[in-house]
A and B are shown apart, each in its own frame.
Chain A
Amino acid sequence: MSTVKKTNVARDPHIRTVRTFKRFTLGQRWEHTFLFLSITVLALTGLPQKYRATSWSQTILATPERVELLQTIHHIAAILLGVIVVYHLGVIIYQLTRRSLPGDMLPTGKDVQDAWHMLQYLLYIKKDKPKFGKYNFEQKVTYWFIFFAIGILGVSGLIIWFPEFFTRFLPGGVIPASKLAHSTEAVTLVIFIVIWHFYHVHLERLNLSIFTGTLNEEDMTTYHQLEYKRILGKAEPGDKKE
């Protein structure tokens, strides 16, 4: 998990050493990459199907073969996303059985306090931002929003992919409900990622830790003070300053 990366560079005044803190494992970084790819492909191939009555969609879906091709790509991307979900849940279950689930992502009472604090900060009632741990409430909202959205999209998507199978044991009403839920939820998710996630990782600051796996000391002290303290508190005294 989060450990300090030791930097063994000779003390040269011209070299500024930057301490980096491990944030994501290689597995988590690959998960994000595949998640990003599959969701992008799913959105790009799904939207023309949702808006089939519009002319831009009909330009893309110029022939019946294209519609079929687009559906096939959508299904392949959905299978990829399914694999990611199974892997993700598998890791969680494995960690649960080993009693080693970090639990940093679970919502806590502090998140509610942080959100309230942040709101006061944004409205100039408080001068300082709240101090965050490894994942702040914004990041937890991102995770859980996408978590449940994928859950809804996955279930509803499977129902409209295999309606004959599902109506063997579910009432028929789940088909139109799934159709409604699937396309609306997908659009909601895309809008949410664009306004919420893109803002936090691109505009507020460029946060590439999900690709590099690490955060530098400055980001840690600015945005994840509590996590920074926790790591350093546990770390050996010699590591405190470099």
Chain B
Amino acid sequence: MPKLRFPFTLRTILLAGSFILLVSILLVTTARAESPAQETESYCLSCHSDPDLSLTLPSGESLSLFIDPAKLQTSLHSPLGIECEACHTNISTYPHPEIVYQSKRELARSYYQACQKCHTDQYDKTQDSMHAHVAEAGNQNAPVCTDCHGSHYVTKPDEPRATVSQTCGHCHTDVYDAYKQSIHGDALINTDNPDVPVCTDCHGVHSIQDPRTSQFRVAEPELCAGCHANATLMGKYGLSADVYNLYKTSWHGVDVAVYEAKWPTIWHDTAVCSDCHDIHNILPADNPASTVNPANLLATCQKCHPGVGPNWTGAWTGHYKISLERTPFIYYVDVFYSSLAPAILWLSAIYVVLQIIRNTVARARRSL
């Protein structure tokens, strides 16, 4: 049988095809990297700038398809040339592919994955977060990127800084209300103070962990110490930066340090900062509403030490070093043990050494 001959073999065709494909992919990628402008925005807005544009999802919800061109211009992405198609990768022309989402939530939970393309680090962090764990457990309301950052009108999340806490407050309303009253929240919201913590300073930004675990609990003193052991920062507000060091040597602090080092997963009730100072509604001690105000201190102690009497609070040296003025009794006990006790021990040691020398010499002389 004579063989059939083709001018191009199948292999050549395949090779050429792959080459063309490769080049085109490379070209497309280069084009995107060099000039991210897809110039899709004006094309899309020709329809989507209509405020009445909407569709009804199978869930019965009405999904607005309106995009405000003015707001879009003030967002971060659009002025940088990152336009519609950067995220809506499956929509390149009209008519659009059919919408397959049952509800608005399903749509949001699907679309936020587009953020991963550029913001990989942040996206990966959220995957280990408390919010992701809650979502895995079936809570569809757990936030995704767009719930905090917005979808089309993305702006800087911390300008002003209070925006961060307000964002968290959209869902965590009770916590935000308590925080607003606190010394931290008040300074943030009313004076845009740059030093006070916003939610993310304590809870983390994207990799937010469950703060109700024993691990979070025993690590909490260190968390607060991040600012409260900083002498420069505390000096600005006339606060003592010794609080953490003194806490560490206290009954509570030593206990907590041991649990943190050895048994972080075992729940332990020894007091950490927030047990006395409250969690979000932290107030200065001179505020009558503060849990550590002298008027409320006993009740605060009684949370863990039920039934203790009014003298009990005197046991608390108040994050202060032992001093004659503040705690005279403890001061004298300390003086006694830091001077008299060592003196007695040294005296007895010297006496014994003299005895040993004398007796050894006497014994040596006798044996001569």
Contacts and interface: CB of A to CB of B under 8 A. Distances in A.
B311 interface: yes
Q: From DSSP, what is the main secondary structure of chain A's interface residues? A: helix
B326 to A, nearest CB: 10
Q: From DSSP, what is the main secondary structure of chain B's interface residues? A: helix
Interface string A162-187: 01100111111111110111001100
A185 B345 CA distance: 11
B356 interface: yes
Contacts of B307: 164
24 contacts: A52-B254, A53-B258, A58-B262, A119-B354, A122-B357, A164-B305, A164-B307, A164-B309, A169-B311, A170-B311, A171-B311, A171-B314, A172-B311, A173-B315, A173-B329, A179-B251, A180-B330, A188-B337, A191-B345, A192-B348, A199-B355, A199-B356, A203-B356, A204-B355
A7 to B, nearest CB: 29
Nearest to A57: B258
Interface residues of B, number: 40
A88 to B, nearest CB: 23
A176 B315 contact: yes
B70 interface: no
B322 to A, nearest CB: 8
A191 B329 CA distance: 25
A176 B334 CA distance: 10
Residue with the greatest number of chain A CB neighbours at <10 A, chosen from B308, B315, B357, B359: B315
Nearest to B305: A164
A10 interface: no
Interface of A: 52-53, 58, 61-64, 119, 121-124, 141, 145, 163-164, 167-177, 179-181, 184-185, 188, 191-192, 195-196, 199, 203-204
A117 to B, nearest CB: 13
A221 to B, nearest CB: 17
Contact of A177 (B329, B348, B356): B329
A185 B329 contact: no
A202 B313 CA distance: 48
A174 B328 CA distance: 11
Interface in B264-291: 266, 268
Interface string B311-342: 11111110000000001011001100100010
Nearest to A122: B354
A52 B250 CA distance: 12
Contacts of B268: 64
B315 A168 contact: no
Interface in B147-165: none
A165 B71 CA distance: 67
Contacts of B266: 64
Given A64-B266, A169-B311, A196-B348, 11 more contacts: A52-B255, A163-B312, A168-B309, A173-B329, A176-B315, A176-B327, A180-B334, A192-B344, A192-B345, A192-B348, A195-B348
